[in-house]
Amino acid sequence: MTPTGPTDRPRRARTTPPMRRLLAEHRTDPADLVLPMFLREGAEAPAPLASMPGVAQHTLDSLRRAAVEAAEAGVGGLMLFGVPRVRDAVGSGATDPDGILNVGLRALVEEVGDTVVVMSDLCLDEFTDHGHCGVLDDRGAVDNDATLERYQDMALAQAETGAHMLGLSGMMDGQVMAVREALDASGHTQTSVLAYSAKYASAFFGPFRDAVESQLEGDRRTYQMDPANRREGLREATLDLVEGADVVMVKPAMSYLDVLSDVAAISSVPVAAYQVSGEYAMIEAAAAQGWIDRRAAIEESVLGLRRAGADVVLTYWATELAGWLR
Ligand code: PBG
């Protein structure tokens, strides 16, 4: 008998939808998704964001409704950002129990805290009038260690709201250890820490800065990472693991899949990826033009993160995607 073709035929695994479903190496589950949300102080109605079609700055009421909707769709977590009315040099609103973020966290815990993980953004940039993630020294540079003290106070205020997991996004050295120590010393041993470990100084944060009405002039390149650096992502994640992070994260996601894969390979805790505002905006914009299939692109973009090693994905499509996956 003469051979009629190859003996190794990977296409057999792709013959039918049931075969492909059975043999899929990765899938996305609603429980793995986290929805980032914006709450604006003093807002009378939800304000849609032009650069993020489908995303709005919430009022307290619309925040509650969107949280319930996400929880009902099976979304695993909610990550809250506050947009305060007043800002100052040290970001006082961040540590005020009546500051907008803390008020919102309390509302989320009350509304859906039994069914989803309520997460906070722990960073000063939304609360400072200069827009930096920390406080400044007398030469105008971001002062690492003085900022750590602010983060400790912020962590206590957030833990008091009942938030389950604090998202440390400021990229200060030693922030995980500083916050962990402050939490433990005040009896909040069960409050988790999600570390934005490898967070790059990215152009893909553009729409987010509209969403939080950022007042930043200049850039964050003295604390957020250089997009050129891969090894350094591993260094940052390793430090956060040693300092006690419960989850480590890579951000943005799509342009940093190598870093995500590196971190996933060494991490002893779950790994998250943040599909950021600019990634969202790109797909929405192309889909609005009819240039790509919106749903397929969204599903593929998140699946790619799972494949690269993300256990958890933060995405502005969390509720809609969870609905499709059910
Ligand atoms: C900082 C923070 C940023 C994002 C999340 N947390 C922005 C920044 O560093 O400028 C970006 C999220 C996104 O772009 O979707 N608090």
Instruction: Compute the distance from residue 26 Cα to the ligand 1 centre, in Å.
Output: 27
Annotated active-site residue in 124, 251, 263, 306: 251
Residues of the chain short of pLDDT 50, as ranges, are: none
The residue nearest atom 14 of ligand 1, judged by CA position, is 205
- Which DSSP helix (H) or strand (E) runs through 166? strand 165-168
Tell me what pLDDT residue 1 has.
Answer: 65
Tell me what pLDDT residue 196 has.
Answer: 97
pLDDT tens by residue, 110-154: 999 999 999 999 999 999 999 999 999 999 999 999 999 999 999
**CA geometry: angle 277, 132, 159, nearest 5 deg:** 80
Residues 6+ apart with CB under 8 A from 129: 87, 88, 89, 215
Please give all residues whose beta carbon lies within 6 A of any atom in ligand 1, as ranges.
Answer: 121, 123, 125, 169, 205, 208-209, 220, 276-277
Query: What interhelical angle do 100-112 and 144-161 show, nearest 10?
Result: 40
Catalytic-residue membership of 99: no
Domains and CATH numbers, the chain: 27-325 (3.20.20.70)
Q: What is the mean pLDDT of the chain?
A: 97
Residues 6+ apart with CB under 8 A from 265: 309
Catalytic-residue membership of 199: yes
Q: What is the ipTM of this complex?
A: 0.95
Biggest CA pair distance of the chain = 85
Is residue 159 within 8 Å of 97, Cβ to Cβ?
A: no
Q: Which residue from 251, 309, 249, 240 is spatially nearest to 26, judged by alpha carbons?
A: 309
Kindly give the pairing relationship between strand 47-48 and strand 56-58: antiparallel
Alpha carbons within 13 angstroms on the beta-carbon side of residue 173 total: 6
Total Cβ atoms within 10 A of residue 178: 21
Tell me what pLDDT residue 4 has.
Answer: 83
